[in-house]
Amino acid sequence: MTKVYLIARRMFTVFLVLTAFLAQGQERTLTGKVTSSDDGSAIPGVNILEKGTTNGTVSDTDGNFTISVGSNAVLVFSFVGYASQEVTVGTQTSLDVKLQSDITSLSEVVVVGYGTQQKKEITSAVSSVSAEQFNKGNVTSPTQFLSGKVAGLSVVRPGGDPNQGFTLRLRGISTFGANSQPLIVIDGIVGASLDNVDPNDVASMDVLKDASAAAIYGARGSSGVILITTKTGKVKKEGYVNVNYNGFVGIDEVANKLTVLSADEFVARGGTDYRTAGAQGTNWFNALTQTGVSHTNNLSVEGGSGTTSYRASVNYRKTEGIVKGVDNDRLNTSLSINNTSLNGKLRLSLGLTYNDRNQNSINLSAFRYAVIYNPTAPIFEGAADNRDGGYFQRDLFDFYNPVALSKQQKFGGERKNLLSNFRVEYDIIEDLTVALNYSINEETGLNGSFWSRRDRVTGFGAQGQARRDTYNNTSKLLELTTKYTKKFGDLNFEGLVGFANQITDSEGFAVQTKQFLYDVNGWDGIDFGSQRQGSGTEASSYKNANTLRSVFGRANLNYKGTYFLSATVRSDSYSGFGRGNKTGYFPAISGGVEVTKLVDLGVVSQLKVRGSYGVSGNLPPAADLALATFAPGGIIDFDGNTLTTSDQYVTLRQTRDANPSLKWETKTEVNVGVDYGLFDGRITGSIEYYTRTNKDLLFGVNLPAGAPNPFDPTEPANVANFAWANIGTIASGGFEFSATYNNVKLGGISWSPSLNFTIYQKAKIESFKVGDLGPGELRLATPGSPGQNANPMIRNKVGETVGNMYGPVFQGLNENGGYVFDSTDPTKWGVIGNGLPNGELGFSNSFSYKNWDLSFVLRGVFGHTLYNSYRGFYENRDAGSRTWNSVTTSKTPFVTSVPEFSSLYIEDASFLRLDNASIGYNLPLKGNSFSNIRFYATGQNLFTITNYTGIDPEVRYSDTDNGDGFQTNLAPGIERRNTYFTTRTYTLGVSLKIK
């Protein structure tokens, strides 16, 4: 037995030696590089471990690694913020690995007001979008990153005007007047402009949607808050420097053209034929438009040494629109420096951004005339020195050559913006931190307008007209905050208290003259205008200031990672309100519970149920609404002798009566939400339901002439018979849903789809009066001239939805082609449409395969209607409309009646649009100075599925043609005839990372 044992032991020993020898013979050195699948950048510090062993290594600062392994080895790659990946080595001697972003990990820390929170602790409605999730392509504003990404947030720009900004609405309408856009906060600077930051410099964006989340910003949070965090430098190793370049060229083409009659069809209809022998007429749309070309170049340098890091960037954009004369160029620069000292207790940061934007534009009515101008007419006629400047023109009503209009009127301007910010943080003790933040935001602008002597729209009557205006706005913000964090057993506490003081100064002046002998100098020779007084002239200036002082505090509790509670309060005092009402208070409370910590829910890996209540406010559209205001009342001659001018003076005219009781607009909101995760976080998302009431809305009211001022007993009688008052209340609500499937594996393809949708309870007017004062009902938005100035399309009534369209219902045509309506009595007309949407959806997708990546975003809006003004004016074939060309669509009947507003021209504008699609390729690199080279192609607004036959089915949240800038939100759903045609954009670009 012993002999057998010895033989077995010797054989086993020989087996082990042979096995070790064979294994040693198969072991070899493996080299490789680890990069991010998002942008191809190297990832330093990745843990690389041979599975089942302790053999491992870490990637260096350039993502490179070396490890000795056997042929059957399986390597596990792991790094914070990325999904772990296993790779079988096989016979490979080199290996390049691309790690996929772990979306769940990336979103664990969310930026909130005056700090950050772990996502699992948040009990309010907050959405976060990281750089990896941003929309791609020719992005000119950071808000485009969010289009289709956040439930409840609308990012719209009807038409394709490159000089027009984007309209933002978070959870619908929040006020009657101005300040309906969400508050913008950039790196903690409250009220900053989107022009302060270039899209290439944005690292992440967080959206505070409900009043509980926004209450920390008090008087400015009623319309929601968007927090923008910019990129900063990092110290990866001593003397580290990284250079990034991103450049692209974009091509714009017209995405949608209206169909009109050809020259022959126009003449056959009865139009005048201006063609000469051999002439074919003019395609006016082609004559006005061009292929737009834009290019962007961005260069950034970041690095650091020791305890100091920095990042500097410069970005230049040049954009040409689809119409000659519509363009802009913009220069953006930024610099950030961060320093840590005193063993990490003291942290200093300095941020500077500067941008300079120049833009030129035309009278957008040129689009209207490009559609309706006589197609038989030529562009030019006669000598260049005739009264029309050589362009074909005729003395007919509303008949202007669109090419002449684009050349003989000129509008332009330059805007400069400088934002400087200094922040210091100091840890007094381990749990107590004090921070001081000081920023200055200064914006200056210089604008010019010129109408040639030969311009038929304005210049003929004025014999040439020019205008120049300038402005300067400065905001200075000082904030002091103290944060205390402490753990008491199973309870985590965080407290924040702060003080803020913001002073805003605005000033400017304008000059306008007319009657020029020459056109040579345009607005640069405004002194060549001989008429300095009267209609068409102006000499004005202004200066005003306001102060907002604030005290705020917040407490967050986290018990065992299961129960969460947050309470906030802010007090704002504003100089622009009436006596006794200058201070407003904005409290909020929210709480939540992580159910999976209490109950095993199987595949449900997260289920946090939360609820919140909050109050936030809205600053008025102007700082002097509570005061009586005055304006020039005209020139009087004291002695009546017009030959003497030394006794001629401008008098005062009161334009507004005082209202010392004027106070804040406030929004009260209740939000119930659920954050969920399935299959260990593979599927994540949230569900929200909210109701809100906006009350004490500011609006102008007419006062009884000669009666005592009802708001100010000290004023014996009204003078201007007009004052601002808190008269309005609107109520709304909604349901929001979002879901993301993180990194679906389809063979070698990784796919991350994300879906969100919103269902709106449209804003309903609950009050439109204070006492006996107020409109009760407000009618807005007449179709316009010719012939349709009498009946406003929109009626805002108490008890009804904001923006309801009223009009006769089209029931068909009689035997002569005339209208047949349900009623011709305006008092019997009912609701025929509403421009606010019932819902929105966004469907985002990102794919990666080896060195390739693909992404696209589908965005849909449904349940809103639009008034198609082109059909409403130019569809009919009546004799009076023969001057203009006719618009023809799939909805066009043969109408012989004079155009008249009715349900015939109200169309369902629901649509589904491929907003964005991008494909990229990361060039494999080894042993050169580039750490990444990526080539990409992007398309924007590639197709739209809709039954709407106008220019653009996009939602119109406001109507700037109603003549009152404080009533634009009450007239949604109107596509005017000066809409800039939509564009489709194709982009080719390259991004480089230099070691």
The secondary element (H helix, E strand) that includes residue 655 is: strand 648-656
The identity of residue 989, as a single letter, is G
pLDDT digits (tens, 9 = 90+) for 318-330: 999 999 889 999 9
Confirm if 59 and 34 have CB atoms less than 8 A apart: yes
Of 128, 108, 122, 151, whose CA–CA distance to 213 is shortest? 122
- The per-residue pLDDT for 850 is 86
- The per-residue pLDDT for 71 is 67
Q: Is 873 helix (H, G, I), strand (E, B) or coil?
A: helix
- The per-residue pLDDT for 7 is 40
pLDDT digits (tens, 9 = 90+) for 130-147: 888 888 888 889 999 999
CA distances from 867 to 367, 805, 813, 955, 974 (A): 17, 9, 20, 11, 5
Block residue for tokens 């012989």: 896
- The per-residue pLDDT for 963 is 60
Phi, psi of 204 (to 5 degrees): -160, 160
Residue 530 and residue 533: Cα distance in Å, rounded?
9
- The per-residue pLDDT for 337 is 96
Confirm if 405 and 362 have CB atoms less than 8 A apart: yes
Decide: residue 81, CB within 10 A, 0-12 exposed, 13-18 middle, 19+ buried: middle
Decide: residue 723, CB within 10 A, 0-12 exposed, 13-18 middle, 19+ buried: buried
Question: Apex CA 117: angle with CA 116 and CA 123, to 5°?
Answer: 130
Structural domains of the chain, ranges and CATH numbers in brackets: 2-99 (2.60.40.1120), 109-235 (2.170.130.10), 242-626+661-985 (2.40.170.20)
Of 231, 220, 232, 226, whose CA–CA distance to 112 is shortest? 226
Strands lying side by side in the sheet with 28-36: 64-69, 28-36, 94-99
Confirm if 552 and 218 have CB atoms less than 8 A apart: yes
Spell out the residues 6+ positions from residue 89 whose beta carbon is closer than 8 angstroms to its own: 30, 69, 70, 71, 72, 73, 74, 75, 95
Block residue for tokens 């622009």: 576
The identity of residue 791, as a single letter, is N
Residue 183 and residue 219: Cα distance in Å, rounded?
10
- The per-residue pLDDT for 159 is 93
pLDDT-flagged residues of the chain (< 50): 1-25, 103-107
Of 353, 332, 311, whose CA–CA distance to 189 is shortest? 353
